[in-house]
A = this chain, B = another copy of it.
């Protein structure tokens, strides 16, 4: 059977609490005993039961991580970094996948509650469950999106949009399209359009393609993008596009090839997220500083876990993304 502190105590002729003291580095243990016990523990390979420890200490050393979309490599990188910093701090991650499904998401959060996780990280969170999660009173951080009244760490999409526009304008582009989320709500577009206006350029709504998150499969997206260009190919196609994320940016590039349009020779493309795919495919993209993002999120979480008294002050950290110039954008001559 599995060894317990009691077994070690009996075998070494010491009381069980003393074993606990030794393992937890209490200063009040005779060195001689300590050495003897530690040697024995080493020899038999005893390992303390973290479940029992958790119960007693009222702390599971577990962080619940709920990811809304595993096919987004950007979220995987977040997971990777979070796991790293968590481990460094003796925490482990219970990871769930919500598939952007609020019901599933809530089940995941309930699992976190049941398992007494010390903190929760949501990447990101649907608005349906926001209030309910806060109500669990478990230290919580939302990652990649800023949510009112909740500690959140994200990236300024407005700044990203501005940088994309600036870059393309600097390269001489004046007629620039946008492929991404709902224009009204999408900060990427808002920043992008702000910069356009600042330069006296009016955005042409014909050059906007709305790719909603609900268009899930690659096939569906391909069709929508294809139809968009088919419709617009006869008119005056923009010389550049700002695309809401790298995957769709790639799909766009591929579909443009079907129309014998080359990137960047004929059309420039700026992506968003700078996931691995952008690196591999050499797509000019807006990079989210993932490591900073996760480190800060973890820091906030730790602060909340460690502080007995609940701090009411909400942290909203918004980092600036960085434009990475690669091979899908190109200077153009302006023909007046």
Given A113-B47, A280-B251, A93 and B95 contact (CB-CB distance below 8 Å): yes
> Which DSSP category, helix, strand, loop or mixed, fits chain A's interface?
helix
A18 an interface residue at 8 Å Cβ cutoff?
no
Instruction: Judge whether A84 is part of the interface by a CB distance below 8 angstroms.
Output: yes
Contact of A83 among B48, B49, B96 (CB under 8 A): B96
Complex Cα distance A281/B277, Å? 11
Q: Quote the shortest CB–CB distance from A326 to chain B (angstroms).
A: 12
Flag whether A111 is at the interface (Cβ < 8 A).
Answer: yes
Which of A70-78, A226-234, A298-306 is the contact stretch? Answer: A70-78
Comparing A50-58, A235-243, A289-297, the segment that makes contact with chain B is: A50-58
Say yes or no: A97 contacts B84, CB within 8 Å: yes
Q: Which of B73, B94, B277 contacts A92 (CB 8 A)?
A: B94
Q: A51-B116, A93-B95 are in contact. Are A70 and B60 (CB under 8 A)?
A: no
- Contacting pair A80 B97 (CB below 8 A): yes
Apart from A49-B114, A70-B80, 6 more pairs, CB < 8 Å? A47-B114, A52-B55, A70-B79, A87-B111, A92-B111, A277-B277
A-B contact pairs, 23 of them (CB 8 A): A47-B113, A47-B114, A49-B55, A49-B116, A50-B115, A50-B116, A51-B54, A51-B60, A51-B116, A52-B55, A70-B79, A83-B95, A87-B96, A92-B94, A92-B111, A93-B94, A93-B95, A94-B94, A95-B95, A218-B279, A247-B280, A251-B280, A254-B280
